[in-house]
Structure 1
């Protein structure tokens, strides 16, 4: 995600910085003001002040935090969108939780970047958003993907322990059936009646969408529920 050549800019990108922490707000404003293509025209401590200053100053880009007292960042974005204010919005946050990200994008932001991002990447992000593009920081994406992979692995583990929403007992029946045991043999292994085994099999067929013992065996093999190595 790159920005256009700064030489193409005829005027600096005018920016408002909004964050409820004064030291961070002032430091960020100073950092951006030091860039030759940027000009910080206003600062705000909460969403309401941001909306008022945006209406007054009409900046090109807004940098704002998500969580703030009073009107938070997402509420401020929604307010600006309802008023059809032509401003580009870059959310700068300490949070990479999915709920914050999704809510912010739905509200109408044009970029999302984390507060621990390196200065050079932040500068690129502001320029990118100012040029009409969308920015998602690489570091942020990697964190989200790590969480996604962990969630997928967790789902796989859950499915492996109780595939298809089966009960633990139904899972045992499925595994034994997949090894080639007959209903009577399964009943003996589990110390239950053959009728109980048949009931479990009926539930297994229904829950997994399978028709017969062959499909059950194939399902178990595909999902790693039985050992198909050499005996």
Structure 2
């Protein structure tokens, strides 16, 4: 069962999102919050698998809440669910350690897929958000590619293999099965990779992998 804390300052929005999540028998909303501060307090109290945060909330906004939750509960995944898809919000949320960024205008199936992905240790961006991230990456690609390749060069061959699979959207469990190792070994590799790349989360690590040319195609949406 995936345990979720749901935070949004609009009661009707919380009810709507909770109804969507209730349609999935593997997801349970264990607490709700109307402010970012309440979200942090609830997360500390129940230690959920995923916290779903609106960005614009009183007392403490969703971005501030995400930063605190990621600092004190590093094993809890954070997803931003918002009406606002501005580049500044996306960039700051990912920089603070959020593993998902979804738009309220998106398909409800994206919400369910995002929660499952983040709970499984992967990352998930709604398609519209992914397009914006890719567009921002398109400028200065050569300079970023050189910098990314320099950071990736510090990894061992085994760590580069894990990074490539991570960037392809595989969860820790999927990577472990593919590499014939236990999941704990993959988690240790991922932690080392994030450290050496200077990445706050899997999304940033995946972007570095794409910029370095480890993976062909576009950056992953989930």
| TM-score for the superposition, normalised by structure 1 | 0.56
* Partner in structure 2 of residue 43 of structure 1: 32
Among 62, 73, 94, which residue is 1:105 paired with? 94
* Partner in structure 2 of residue 205 of structure 1: none
Deviation at 1:141, TM superposition (A): 2.2
- How far apart, CA to CA, are the structure 2 residues paired with 1:15 and 1:46? 16
* Partner in structure 1 of residue 160 of structure 2: none
Deviation at 1:127, TM superposition (A): 0.5
* Partner in structure 2 of residue 129 of structure 1: 118
* Partner in structure 1 of residue 78 of structure 2: 89
> Gaps spanning 5+ residues in structure 2: where?
141-222
- How far apart, CA to CA, are the structure 2 residues paired with 1:132 and 1:82? 16
- Output one character per residue of 1:59-117: Cα deviation in whole Å (capped at 9) or x when no partner: 11111111111100111111123324521111111111111111111111111111111
- How far apart, CA to CA, are the structure 2 residues paired with 1:147 and 1:77? 23
* Partner in structure 2 of residue 176 of structure 1: none
Deviation at 1:23, TM superposition (A): 0.2
Among 50, 59, 75, which residue is 2:64 paired with? 75
Q: Is the 8 A contact 2:47 2:73 kept in 1?
A: no
- How far apart, CA to CA, are the structure 2 residues paired with 1:55 and 1:122? 23
* Partner in structure 2 of residue 22 of structure 1: 11
Q: Partner of 1:68: helix, strand, or coil?
A: coil
Name the structure, 1 or 2, with higher relative contact order (CA <8 Å, separation 6+): 2
Which of 1 and 2 has greater Rg? 1
- How far apart, CA to CA, are the structure 2 residues paired with 1:112 and 1:44? 19
